[in-house]
Amino acid sequence: MKTGEKRSARTQPVVTPRYDVTVSGTHPTPEHEILIADTGLAALVTAGLLDRAGFDPLLASSPIDRSPPRVTVIWEPGLRILERLGLRASVERRGTRVTELERAGSEKSWEADASSEIALVAVGRDQLQALLDQAVRSRTRVTDRVVTEFESATSGVRATFDHEGTESFDVAVTADRSLSADHAPEPDGRVHTWECYEFERRAKATESWGASAAAFAIPTGDSTSLRLVTTAETPARAAVSADDVADRFSHLDPSTADLKRALRDSGFEYRRVRLAAPAFVATGRIGLVGPAARPALPGTHLGPSTDIETAWALATSIANASGMKEALSAYERCRRELSARFRAQFDDQRMSDRMLSPEFRLLFSARRLAFSQVTGDLPFN
């Protein structure tokens, strides 16, 4: 065990998972050294799934570790995977379970499936982190050192810790693209998002759509998480002005005065992102998960669930391949299929709502894209 590593007691999870990462008879030996250089949601789920498949990963931080949003919304696909870690029941108890999502002024955005009700849970970041710490970090090797660089080697990966010492691993997992030598800066995004967490309590989850703007409201206990999205050009000054933001979305929400007051009083988080799918999710022996491995679908609240799914896809590939190289190749193929679906849906001209911009036609159909992994041919179910 390396200096700074902590060995946690390998206790059994409180709840027996309904599903597990299945392991074939030719899986790589659990003695393979696996480094997970990230402590965000996807990384912790990856560590937990690999641990339950018989591996012994080492968990470290990366320079830009990402925390889940202050209020994390997890859809049914993500909940199914958390169930494999014994976490679904706890997340549902501590969060706000939403069973109905309506499109304001129109039909429902989705209907409950006949065999399995599609639902989502909004849970506080701190509560989710505590549950992950109990279920994953308490069972996993952890090092206090920070991984600052990866370098692919002939038979593995060399990781640099704290800009000093290096160490070899058979495979590395991260949600931080900057650690890879193949990383290239991404161009500025053209989708603008704002999130306010202290909006007045609403009874139902709702969404409202315009040609290039949308508003999503998710109940979170005593308040509502409100997310606003637009692809329209937004000057920097307008992006940080509560009055300008409220005016921009006034046609979607009748309570403009309440929106202005909420934005002023409780503040908001603003981001500018790109609507795109990653070019690759594996390079050499480095596998990407989380935000680095999923299409960006801002405003849909699908991010956390898709991040969890990338963790499951990579952990399953590692557990069932005949070697680490084969595992990363299988994972890359799996994600390329999803990226191809993403691009095809973006270019699909058969979408019924011609009033929406191309970006918003994709956002509007994003749930079908994400949920297809549950019932489609990708290794999810």
**323/27 Cα distance (integer angstroms):** 7
The answer to whether residue 20 sits within a structural domain is no
What pLDDT does residue 168 have? 93
Cα gap 241→231, rounded to integer Å? 17
Same domain, 244 and 163: no
Place of tokens 């046609």: 251
Cα separation of 246 and 380, whole Å?
40
Q: For the domain that residue 44 is a member of, what is the CATH number?
A: 3.50.50.60
Residue 381 lies in a domain: no
Alpha-carbon 150 to chain mean position: 22
CA distance 145 to 61: 7
Q: What pLDDT was estimated at residue 29?
A: 58
State which of 254, 273, 292 marks the end of a domain: 273
Q: Are residues 172 and 220 in the same domain?
A: no
The parent domain of residue 201 ranges over 191-273
351 within a domain of the structure (yes/no): yes
Q: Would residue 6 count as lying in a domain?
A: no
Alpha-carbon distance of 358 to 347, in angstroms, equals: 8
Regarding whether 51 and 89 lie in a shared domain, the answer is: no
Domain co-membership, 102 together with 176? no
The domain that holds 199 is classified in CATH as 3.30.70
Same domain, 173 and 50: yes
Look up residue 260 and give its two tokens. 């202005």
Do 134 and 237 fall into the same domain?
Answer: no
From CA 246, how far away is CA 199, in angstroms rounded? 13
Antiparallel, parallel or unpaired: β 34-37 and 58-61: parallel
Q: What is the pLDDT of residue 19?
A: 38
Shared domain for 163 and 303, answered yes or no, is yes
**Does residue 134 lie within any of the structural domains?**
yes
The pair phi, psi for residue 60, each rounded to 5°, is: -135, 170
| Sheet architecture: strand order including 191-199 | 101-103, 205-209, 213-220, 223-230, 191-199, 269-273
Q: Are residues 86 and 157 in the same domain?
A: no
Judgement on whether residues 36 and 174 belong to the same structural domain of the protein: yes
Whether residue 5 is contained in a domain is answered as: no
Token pair of 378, please?
């990708």
pLDDT tens column, 287-325 = 999 888 887 766 667 788 888 989 999 999 999 888 888
Please report the pLDDT score of residue 199 as a whole number: 65
Residues 158 and 286 in one domain: yes
Last residue of a domain, one of 225, 254, 273: 273
The residues of the chain scoring below 70 in pLDDT are 1-30, 65-68, 104-118, 181-189, 198-200, 253-257, 275-276, 297-300, 338-339, 341-381
Burial of 254 (0-12, 13-18, 19+ CB in 10 A): exposed
pLDDT at 136: 94
Of 258, 273, 288, the domain-final residue? 273
- Record the pTM: 0.80
* 303-320 helix and 41-52 helix, angle to the nearest 10 degrees: 30
Examine residue 18 and state whether it is found in any structural domain, yes or no: no
Please tell me the total count of domains within the chain.
Answer: 3
Looking at the structure, tell me whether residues 291 and 163 fall in a common domain: yes
Q: Do 210 and 279 have their domain in common?
A: no
Residue 15 located in a structural domain: no
